[in-house]
Amino acid sequence: SNSGNCSQSNGLVSCTITNLAASASQSFVVTANIVNGANTPAIVPAFAAATTLDSTPANNLAQASIDLTIDPDLLTDLGISLTTEAVLVNYQDVVTYTVTVSNTGTGAGRDVLATITMPNGGLYQGANGATCTLSGINALCDLNQMDPNTGTTFDIYVQMDGNGTVRAQATIADQSSNPVTFDANTDNNSATSPPVLVFSANRTHRVVGNVVVAANSFETVDGVVTALGGVELGALDEFDNPVYTVQLTGGLDAISWTEGVENGDPPPAGQPALSGHGSVAALSTGLTYFVGDFQISDASVPTMAPVGNVATEITELAGFNLDGGLTYTGVSLADGSAAITADIIITPPGISITTQAVGQLLPDGSFVGTIPTLTFMLSALEIEANNLTIEAGTIRANTLTITLPSALGGGTGNAADLLITRSYVRIGAVGAKIPLPNIPLANGQTLNITDVEATVGFFGGVYAVQATGTLAITLPENNLTADVEFSIDDTGNIEGFVVEEMTLNLAGASLVLAEGLLSNDGVATDAGILSQGGANVTVRQITITPAGLSIGGNGAVIPFPDVRVGQSAVIYNLEAQLTVDNSGGSPHYTFNLTGKTRFLLPGNTKTVNFTGQMSQGAMSGTAAEFSLKLNGSTLRLVNMTFANGKFSLPTAPLTLPAALSSRSLTVNNIVIDQNGLAVDGGVTEVTLADVPLAGNSAIVQLLLSGILYIKTGSSVSFEVGGKLRALVSGQTVDLVSTFTINSQGQINAKIPDFEITVVGLSVTTNGVVLRNGVLQATEASIATPKGWGGVKAAVYDLRIGNGDFSLGGGEFALPPIDLGGVKFKVSGGFQRNGNQLMIKAAGLVAIKNIPENTPGCYGLGVALTIYVSVSGNLVANVEPAPTTRTSVAAAASGGSGFSATISAEECEIPITGTGFKISRISGTFALLDDADVVRIELAVEFSSEFEVLDEPAVASEPTLGIEAATDGRYMQVDFAATAEIFSMFTAAELEAGLRIGQKKPGDADAVFKAELKIDMVIIKGEAYFAAWTQDGSFHLVGGGRLQIGVAKGDVWHGCIKIPLLGEACINIPPFDLFARVGTDFGEFQRGSGTTWGLKAYYNVIAYEVGLYINTSGDFKFGSVSQYQTVTPPDLLRAKELQQTVKAQR
């Protein structure tokens, strides 16, 4: 309150006003926190009272209606559930409890705590998905804040150390206090787990003094015995049967005692007989907790008083209630016993049986008798015994018959020692197991439980049968056994485990089942390991029922382990259907398989479909069509079969690589196994005959013949032992070697050096190889034919293949073509000409005594086209086509040779030793390689380095013929045109020639040969000449024996006086034609001067008689001795030396 003196007690707020004046008022504001509730209206009453008299008490009471609206942010709806998949577990198994928490409210839980209470005998082992701590038997899991419409799931792990049916508990709450939240629905704030039956095949009990201790395990350490797991305490009844009254409920609860106490010794001084720790709970109400002898006090001694009329009523007999009265058949007067027959009611816990008992009722009220027959049910077991004895509260039978329910085959078996009291039923000795008949599941042909032993216990108000046995499984190809533990409920249903690993043989594969659930239907497990060839897969939903084995459900497709073929292949992604095949005399399993095959061969990774089956340990199948690339070859494999751990085919087509023109072959016995690929056992021999290499053309062909060796295995190799035939433009050479085909399909080999003629040139290799189907040599030499000088030259980068032939990368320098007086230096390359090769080349031509180049000149250019004619002759053509000159045409059509275009422009090339020079040459010429003489026909412009009478010594545009001996003996130049020679014979017509060198032995080294026609005078013959420069002027002289073609006396007739001899008469010419008349020409000395002309003479005794023609064409006859040719310096020097030698002699 914000005013007054107020207090609160149990929801009632009281406010005290010490003095309230008349007509006065006092207001109070009371603030309340709603700690729980919902969105509902609330009535708040208020009343006033005073110690004085109130004149109007009717208005002392008032009330207010308040709409309670809880803030949505504070309104939660927490819920919890607790589940487990465990149903029947063994002692100390760990069970997983799954806790699911949700908040479906509008507000957030701010401090949410989940509390998990362990089941009886449960020992907390930890959590996954939440942070939990153990407090006593509770696991406290702090979930912090949970927002609206959220949830979480976590697992609690509990070790089951108890016994019997147990449950776990779970609660959820929000612990926040500021502000307090409200849970809209508290009905879902707690949960109980499904029941779990904890079973221990080793559970028994021990007697310690007067206390019976039952437990799952007894451990003795240093003389101290400790009972652990589902500990229960009780006492032995008068029949030495244990009756349990209390149990310890904690997972670690235990009872301990010294080992001697158990044997009847007293405990050590000052120590209790039993000690322990844990939480104690009563097993059931109405049980006797203490049994023993008691001393009755005097005050309790009853007082006997006579009664007048005594009425006797017997309500029980031998400790069992009577159903109705007794039938007395007689009373013995001797001992007071009576023979009676009565129906007694046998009512140990869980059983109510009414049966007839016959015996003697003794005077002390005890009864000794028999029960002729007794049949009752313990759970689903029918117990039948005959001639049972009944005495002092016990019913016993030495033998009994146990019959299984029809659901378990209805089998019967015998047991011993049946004991029935009002408190329990026991078969056999204390803690002993009783045998049960074999339990066939369905018809028992597939599943049968043998060697069954059981204990019968009373749990939770019902009898439960806990049993162990051996499960015999009979399936195709399988007969196996496994230990099982199970329970039988009162309807005959089995729940249990296969506690031993089972391994089934399925068509050669193995299926390992680590554990399985056992029921009337058979064995079921969620997962198993299917293994084959070292590979494993997990398969699901495995059942073994009377109908047989099922994996994944009837007709289901299941995964199958990968199958490896060494490192060569893997069959994977297999899916299988399991069927039973009854062929072959006995049923057996078969897997029908589909999947993929990945081949992992060198250079080949192929994935194809696979279909097959596995039966009786053998796997077979077929791989879909695929192709392998083997060193450029293609091996096509269609429907390759798999058997005996390998793939195989009897035959397959093999397409050789493009390097071998993709030739198709057939190979045999193809196998892919752990060693890789093998064809025909690993080595295949195939005969090849003239297999063309890739890119062959009509000009260049490479043909391979021999034996192809295909070696397969972990690696693949292709080799050909044989020969390679190279055909180049009609020429052939065979090359023997071993040829390999590499992984790229390229054919390579080391080739012996060879020689081949290509377009007239002899090509010789040096270090040749076949690389990728092409003959290659980094070095080679080529030589011209003998007729062209037979000269060799080094070339580089020879290539023969892919339909082409090349040198030097396409262009190379030809060897000098030496034809004596004519030599060629050209470069070019090979080109195609239809189905033949030809050579296109260009360069220089050198003619003897005509230098290749002079200052300002680049020599005589030449362009060649060389080829072989259809008749097999080597031919060279000019570009453009040669002229129609007879010699050129004859050369081109009649034999091997060259045609060329020659040019020498804007320069002057001297003719060595003559004083003449060539200022222009053009035209064509032919060189015949089979001739002694090479003839050149050219149009030429000559000039000379000297002038005569201010005119060029030679000025003409004649047709020039150059004739050169191929052995270099001579070179001759012929002129055939009107020419001005020395500008002196203006009216003369000249056919002349110039020879340098000896045409035949004895010839002059230099001869000017001419036929000069001046009027009627014809002079012709051979001459010699010399030219030189001295004192800045040019000199030319010559001579020889000329023939002058004039009639006798036509030139001159007369007589001359000869001193001392008289007169001689001479006709000039003296006969029709002079024979070898001596002739000089050129520059003459006359007196102190020189003149130019031509002198013909013959000797008459001591005189020279002849004629002289001057530069004007004038003739002078008679003595011409006065005209002497100018002597060149070298001749003068020679004469001087000669005269000196003569003088010395």
**Which residues of 712-821 form beta strands (DSSP E)?**
717-728, 731-741, 747-751, 755-758, 761-771, 774-783, 792-801, 804-806, 812-813, 817-818
930 vs 590, which has greater pLDDT? Answer: 590
Binned at pLDDT 50, 70 and 90, residue 563 comes out as very high
Residue carrying the six token digits 């299984």: 404
Binned at pLDDT 50, 70 and 90, residue 1108 comes out as low
> What domains are defined for the chain?
5-69 (no CATH), 73-198 (2.60.40.1510), 202-282 (no CATH), 316-432 (no CATH), 439-561 (no CATH), 562-573+582-749 (no CATH), 1015-1145 (no CATH)
- Are 1050 and 1016 in contact, with CB atoms under 8 Å apart? yes
Question: What whole-number distance in Å separates Cα of residue 866 and Cα of residue 1030?
Answer: 47
Q: What are phi and psi of 346, to 5 degrees?
A: -100, 115
Cβ-Cβ contacts under 8 Å for 147 (sequence gap 6 or more):
103, 108
Asked if residue 1139 has pLDDT above 60, the reply is: no
* pLDDT at site 98: 97
Q: How far apart are the first and last CA of the chain?
A: 176
DSSP state of 546: T
Question: What whole-number distance in Å separates Cα of residue 667 and Cα of residue 675?
Answer: 19
Asked if residue 428 has pLDDT above 90, the reply is: no
Binned at pLDDT 50, 70 and 90, residue 323 comes out as confident
Three-state DSSP class for 404?
Answer: coil
Binned at pLDDT 50, 70 and 90, residue 534 comes out as confident
* pLDDT at site 131: 93
Binned at pLDDT 50, 70 and 90, residue 25 comes out as confident
**Of the candidates 233, 277, 274, which has an alpha carbon nearest to the alpha carbon of residue 253?**
277
List, for residues 109-123, the tens digit of each pLDDT value.
989 999 999 998 899
**Tokens read off for 624:** 């879909």
Residue carrying the six token digits 């020409």: 1081
Share of the chain above pLDDT 90, in %: 27
What string of H, E and C letters represents the secondary structure of 875-925?
EEECCCCCCCCHHHHHHHHHCCEEEEEEECCCCCEECCCCCEEEEEEEEEE
Asked if residue 717 has pLDDT above 90, the reply is: no
**Of the candidates 161, 137, 166, which has an alpha carbon nearest to the alpha carbon of residue 230?**
161
- Are 360 and 342 in contact, with CB atoms under 8 Å apart? no
* pLDDT at site 995: 52
Residue type for 1001, please? P
Question: What whole-number distance in Å separates Cα of residue 996 and Cα of residue 910?
Answer: 14
Asked if residue 454 has pLDDT above 80, the reply is: yes
Binned at pLDDT 50, 70 and 90, residue 848 comes out as low
Question: What whole-number distance in Å separates Cα of residue 351 and Cα of residue 383?
Answer: 12
Residue carrying the six token digits 């009972």: 227
372 vs 52, which has greater pLDDT? Answer: 372
* pLDDT at site 846: 65
**Of the candidates 1077, 1103, 963, 1086, which has an alpha carbon nearest to the alpha carbon of residue 1023?**
1077
Asked if residue 609 has pLDDT above 60, the reply is: yes
Q: Which of 453-457, 610-614, 796-800, 997-1001 has the weakest average pLDDT?
A: 997-1001
Asked if residue 155 has pLDDT above 80, the reply is: yes
* pLDDT at site 852: 53
List, for residues 369-401, the tens digit of each pLDDT value.
999 999 999 889 999 999 999 988 889 999 999
In 956-1101, which residue ranges form alpha helices assigned H by DSSP? Answer: none
- Are 259 and 224 in contact, with CB atoms under 8 Å apart? yes
Count CB atoms within 10 A of the CB of residue 1046: 19
**Tokens read off for 512:** 């390992």
Q: How much is the mean pLDDT over the chain?
A: 75
Count CB atoms within 10 A of the CB of residue 75: 18
- Are 194 and 143 in contact, with CB atoms under 8 Å apart? no
Asked if residue 939 has pLDDT above 50, the reply is: no
- Report for 233-237, 362-366, 730-734: range of highest mean pLDDT: 730-734
State the Cα angle at 698 between 695 and 704, rounded to 5°: 55
* pLDDT at site 1107: 55
Q: Which of 93-107, 452-466, 1064-1078 has the weakest average pLDDT?
A: 1064-1078
Residue carrying the six token digits 């397969």: 712
Q: Strands 196-199 and 88-90: what pairing?
A: parallel
**Which residues of 366-508 form beta strands (DSSP E)?**
367-378, 381-391, 394-403, 412-420, 425-427, 434-436, 439-441, 447-459, 462-475, 478-488, 494-498, 502-506
Share of the chain above pLDDT 70, in %: 66
Give strand pairing partners of 958: none
* pLDDT at site 1113: 45
Three-state DSSP class for 584?
Answer: helix
* pLDDT at site 771: 92
**Of the candidates 911, 910, 906, 816, which has an alpha carbon nearest to the alpha carbon of residue 864?**
816
Burial category of 33 from C-beta neighbours within 10 Å (exposed 0-12, middle 13-18, buried 19 and up): exposed
Three-state DSSP class for 132?
Answer: strand
911 vs 695, which has greater pLDDT? Answer: 695
| Residues constituting the chain | 1145
Question: What whole-number distance in Å separates Cα of residue 727 and Cα of residue 702?
Answer: 6
Question: Mean of the pLDDT values across residues 1079-1091?
Answer: 65
* pLDDT at site 426: 86
Question: Mean of the pLDDT values across residues 607-633?
Answer: 93
**Of the candidates 631, 349, 587, which has an alpha carbon nearest to the alpha carbon of residue 445?**
587
Three-state DSSP class for 583?
Answer: helix
**Of the candidates 324, 205, 228, which has an alpha carbon nearest to the alpha carbon of residue 276?**
228
Three-state DSSP class for 1081?
Answer: strand
DSSP letter string, 161-213? -S-EEE--EEEEEE---SSPPEES--TTSEEEPPPEEEE-TT-EEEEETTEEE
Question: Mean of the pLDDT values across residues 165-171?
Answer: 93
Question: What whole-number distance in Å separates Cα of residue 20 and Cα of residue 158?
Answer: 69
Q: Which of 66-75, 488-497, 631-640, 1027-1036 has the weakest average pLDDT?
A: 1027-1036
* pLDDT at site 954: 45
**Of the candidates 445, 166, 402, 381, which has an alpha carbon nearest to the alpha carbon of residue 281?**
166
Question: What whole-number distance in Å separates Cα of residue 983 and Cα of residue 653?
Answer: 90
- Are 573 and 535 in contact, with CB atoms under 8 Å apart? no
Question: What whole-number distance in Å separates Cα of residue 1022 and Cα of residue 637?
Answer: 90
Asked if residue 181 has pLDDT above 90, the reply is: no
- Alpha-carbon Rg for the chain in angstroms: 70
**Of the candidates 945, 902, 788, 918, which has an alpha carbon nearest to the alpha carbon of residue 849?**
918
List, for residues 184-242, the tens digit of each pLDDT value.
889 999 999 999 988 887 888 888 877 889 998 888 888 888 888 888 888 887 777 88
List, for residues 140-149, the tens digit of each pLDDT value.
999 999 999 9
278 vs 774, which has greater pLDDT? Answer: 774
List, for residues 263-310, the tens digit of each pLDDT value.
777 777 666 667 777 667 666 554 444 443 334 444 444 444 444 443
List, for residues 1000-1016, the tens digit of each pLDDT value.
676 655 444 444 443 33
Asked if residue 43 has pLDDT above 50, the reply is: yes
Question: What whole-number distance in Å separates Cα of residue 460 and Cα of residue 350?
Answer: 10
DSSP letter string, 947-977? EETTEESEEB-PEEEEEEETTSSEEEEEEES
Cβ-Cβ contacts under 8 Å for 897 (sequence gap 6 or more):
874, 875, 876, 891, 926, 927, 928, 929
Q: What are phi and psi of 73, to 5 degrees?
A: -70, -15
Cβ-Cβ contacts under 8 Å for 780 (sequence gap 6 or more):
763, 764, 765, 766, 768, 794, 795, 796, 798, 807
Residue carrying the six token digits 């993709």: 662
- Are 824 and 817 in contact, with CB atoms under 8 Å apart? yes
Question: Mean of the pLDDT values across residues 179-188?
Answer: 85
Does the global pTM surpass 0.85? no
* pLDDT at site 898: 40
Asked if residue 809 has pLDDT above 90, the reply is: no
